[in-house]
Structure 1
């Protein structure tokens, strides 16, 4: 089912997702290599400063957060670090996430505690919009383009042109959303859904500036780990169909994201509601700057 939309997305761009030099005396190659043993309970640590910025590097339990003034701070994630998101454009409510949600380019507000000569993150907060958009921006970086392999190499000129345009985008317009639905525990796309995906692709192709963001979801059945993997598998199946069958260009596909049980479309306590939540949404986006030309 395709749903037209015209809501603008406020976008915080972070152009350089490569590991920058930390604003400390630590050599660049060792910025994220410090390893602690078992950390004590955070109740035994003194409260530290609040850090606002963008995640500019991530390696295991170590984060680098870069503030607006260019200052970089290295933080350690604790097993009890609370990671939460607030509601936003896609309707994701105030939910708790695991540490895999902390990706490069994500604007965060971090409460810290002192441990030794460093800081431990006691709480990390971000908006749901920023989480999704960080994934979108990440899909436009040289790193992610390279990961697409030979298909991207064959479209090198178009990829480079698109990446240049992404550097100036500060807003997206959401043009339409197509939802496809899945059986319990499955990631197989139905024949009818395959036809809908190609129809959506043809419609989006009419605008040369359009991009696609694919988000996979599950119902509440099963564990968080199983649902995360299943939501990613569903998103990947849709991306593969769009690119291989519908011929959507890989360089116009932003990084797909598995959202597990987040943002339920309906009540998970009923069979009908769970059926609506077992879905992948295909969002067609155009930068506001390009859309208004």
Structure 2
């Protein structure tokens, strides 16, 4: 059974507060397009970026991007939107002292990648004239983006670093919730539940920067310890199915949690109410810092 429901905000915040995830590694669009600057006639009149006045140099991590803009988050949590185009020079350094630079295409600008950006002022907006990065950082970001098994250790280190540098990653907008239900004492997914999970993954995949938070619940049958373990088992079963059968990437999944009997959807005094409470909620979330970019 699948439905979009109003979430108990207190329970969701409790679940997310301690369960930060690789938000650095949000979904990306990688189409190449010429930059368009908000319809500003003055900006459009500048064909060559070398003609534009110099802007500030920006350093930080790419925390979001679309086809013509980057959001760069600095160490202090401040965010800057910077445009880029085919004129933007993208360089990666490698080796001792950053020697051996090579030119890159715009599809190398991955979320979670530390960059140094030289900008120019085009109308009211900043546009990158040059973006510099390190080759080893690009390899790590690529591993995270591709979700490769051999990059697991580096992925973990990189996402932990990004977590500590993006201050509001635990503040989310909830885009929807799908509930899948279970039989008493069981953690086995039904055919309908499996179909609902893949439909939810497909819905979330169509949203920019979406993550999934999976929370398991039980009814009031059984004691607390048993229900806590059962709620965690149900959540883990859902996560495994979404990743293995619905194509959802691990780096876009917040750590699952079990909430035992907490936050019941209905009264546990009736069989119908208990059936509604034996569930796993799959929440589609977008960080407020990235929503709408």
Question: TM (normalized to structure 2)?
Answer: 0.51
Cα deviation per residue 1:97-137 (whole Å; 9 max; x = unaligned)? xxxxxxxxxxxxxxxxxxxxxxxxxxxxxx64542122332
Q: Which runs of 5+ in 2 are unaligned?
A: 25-146
By how many angstroms is 1:154 displaced? Answer: 5.4
| Higher deviation after alignment, 162-171 or 207-216 | 162-171
Aligned positions, number: 169
> Is the 1:211–1:252 Cα contact (8 Å) retained in structure 2?
yes
> Is the 1:152–1:159 Cα contact (8 Å) retained in structure 2?
no
Query: What is the aligned partner in structure 1 of residue 202 from structure 2?
Result: 202
For 1:223 and 1:129, how far apart are their aligned partners in 2? 23
1:234–1:161 Cα change, 3 Å? closer
Query: What is the aligned partner in structure 2 of residue 90 from structure 1?
Result: 8
- Kindly report the root-mean-square deviation, in angstroms, between the aligned alpha carbons of the 2 structures: 3.2
- The structure with the largest alpha-carbon Rg is 2
Cα deviation per residue 1:149-198 (whole Å; 9 max; x = unaligned)? 97482595698479637714352100010000000000000011101100
> Is the 2:172–2:287 Cα contact (8 Å) retained in structure 1?
yes
> Is the 2:23–2:252 Cα contact (8 Å) retained in structure 1?
no
> Is the 2:23–2:159 Cα contact (8 Å) retained in structure 1?
no
Query: What is the aligned partner in structure 2 of residue 218 from structure 1?
Result: 218
1:130–1:194 Cα change, 3 Å? closer
- Bigger RCO (CA 8 Å, 6+ sep): 2
For 2:200 and 2:168, how far apart are their aligned partners in 1? 23
Query: What is the aligned partner in structure 1 of residue 89 from structure 2?
Result: none
For 1:195 and 1:178, how far apart are their aligned partners in 2? 11
Query: What is the aligned partner in structure 2 of residue 187 from structure 1?
Result: 187
By how many angstroms is 1:206 displaced? Answer: 1.3
**Matching residue within 133, 150, 174 for 2:16:** 133
For 1:285 and 1:211, how far apart are their aligned partners in 2? 5
By how many angstroms is 1:90 displaced? Answer: 1.9
Q: Which runs of structure 2 are paired with 1:82-121 in the superposition (5 Å)? A: 90=8
1:198–1:271 Cα change, 3 Å? same
Query: What is the aligned partner in structure 2 of residue 268 from structure 1?
Result: 268
Q: Which runs of 5+ in 1 are unaligned?
A: 6-88, 92-126, 143-148
> Is the 1:216–1:281 Cα contact (8 Å) retained in structure 2?
yes
| SS in structure 2 at match of 1:189 | coil
For 1:152 and 1:275, how far apart are their aligned partners in 2? 42
1:130–1:288 Cα change, 3 Å? closer
By how many angstroms is 1:289 displaced? Answer: 1.9
For 1:161 and 1:219, how far apart are their aligned partners in 2? 35
> Is the 2:22–2:159 Cα contact (8 Å) retained in structure 1?
no
By how many angstroms is 1:240 displaced? Answer: 0.3
Query: What is the aligned partner in structure 2 of residue 153 from structure 1?
Result: 151
Query: What is the aligned partner in structure 2 of residue 254 from structure 1?
Result: 254
Q: Which runs of structure 2 are paired with 1:37-116 in the superposition (5 Å)? A: 90=8
